[in-house]
Amino acid sequence: MRIRASLAAAALSGAAALTALAVPAAHAVDNPAAAKAEQFKSAHQALSKPQSFAASPAAKVDGDIQVTKVTVNGNKDVVVGKSPKSFNVYVTVTDPSGIDHDQYGVDVALWHGTDLEGGDFDGFLWNENGAESCDYWSATAATCKFTIAANPGEFDGLWDSSLNGKWNVKVDAFANDGDSYSDDFYKNHWIKRASSFSGFNASPEPVSKGKTITVTGTLNRVSWTYDKYYGYGSQPVQLQFKKAGSSTYSTVKTVTSNSSGYLKTTVTASADGTWRFHYAGNSTSSVADAYDYVDVR
């Protein structure tokens, strides 16, 4: 369900889900991620026991259970365009009594905001089916694999472009003896809007040595809100060159995109090779490249 196509229908669906979890329906309109967050919490309540946490405020740990490693998308940014993007998360847990084999004995989610328990969040990504697989590689340790989908424009996914940027990784784990671990801020990870170039061209081609080459193109960035790419303005883009036979690019100059994302610059033709616009990305947007080979005669 696309929020841009039918916000009212999406809100009704989210409200219904929240009502089933005894959360005020009005909350769904303000916070589309609330339903999934409540489902996550509910899924772990049966595994919890009365706890006397002895840990730092960041991680609530009862007993000697430990989460030793969490890897999100191979430690690379999650880049999402107009289509859904799935990525893997691996969580390694140890406890002398062994790790609970329940569906949610180990679980992980990503959320966007500042305070999950206090309700100050607007994005929550979680696989409600739990781990895809768990490798119990010893009697006391396990590594579990999760596949999480980031769906642009979906009411309970990346429903708005403002969700780009830094997300928090939440990890919950339970041991066979009832020990538990919960950390809303285990680590951070970046979910970015996809960037790309359109209309890139270096011309004329072929070109005589010493003549002028004009390089043009438009830098675009996706809007999850409107399911469309728009020109991305005021961004620094490097014009780079790789001489024929070489394997490396060198930066010739930096050009700034105009308000519509358009770029235009000129250089002098000196040798055969590939011209490239390289956008390094930022905290909300992905890296993008565009190439054109020019024959110099």
pTM of this structure: 0.86
- Nearest-angstrom CA–CA distance, 23 and 253: 55
- Nearest-angstrom CA–CA distance, 54 and 192: 36
- Nearest-angstrom CA–CA distance, 229 and 190: 20
Q: Could you tell me the residue range of the domain that residue 202 belongs to?
A: 195-294
Q: What is the pLDDT of residue 31?
A: 77
| Cα 59 off chain centre by | 23
Q: What is the pLDDT of residue 44?
A: 86
Question: 206 preceded by cis ω (within 30°)?
Answer: yes
Domain holding 227: CATH number?
A: 2.60.40.730
pLDDT at 15 over 90: no
- Nearest-angstrom CA–CA distance, 78 and 88: 10
Q: What is the pLDDT of residue 49?
A: 61
24, part of any domain: no
178 and 60 share one domain = yes
Q: What is the pLDDT of residue 58?
A: 67
158, part of any domain: yes
pLDDT at 57 over 80: no
Mean pLDDT confidence for 125-151 = 96
Q: What is the pLDDT of residue 108?
A: 98
270 and 254 share one domain = yes
Please report which confidence band the pLDDT of residue 46 belongs to, taking 50, 70 and 90 as the band edges.
Answer: confident
Q: What is the pLDDT of residue 25?
A: 34
- Above pLDDT 90, what percent of the chain? 81
Q: Across the strands, what pairs with 9?
A: none
Task: Show Cβ contacts of residue 48 under 8 Å, excluding neighbours closer than 6 positions.
Answer: 174, 180
Mean pLDDT confidence for 158-164 = 96
121 and 154 share one domain = yes
Mean pLDDT confidence for 184-203 = 98
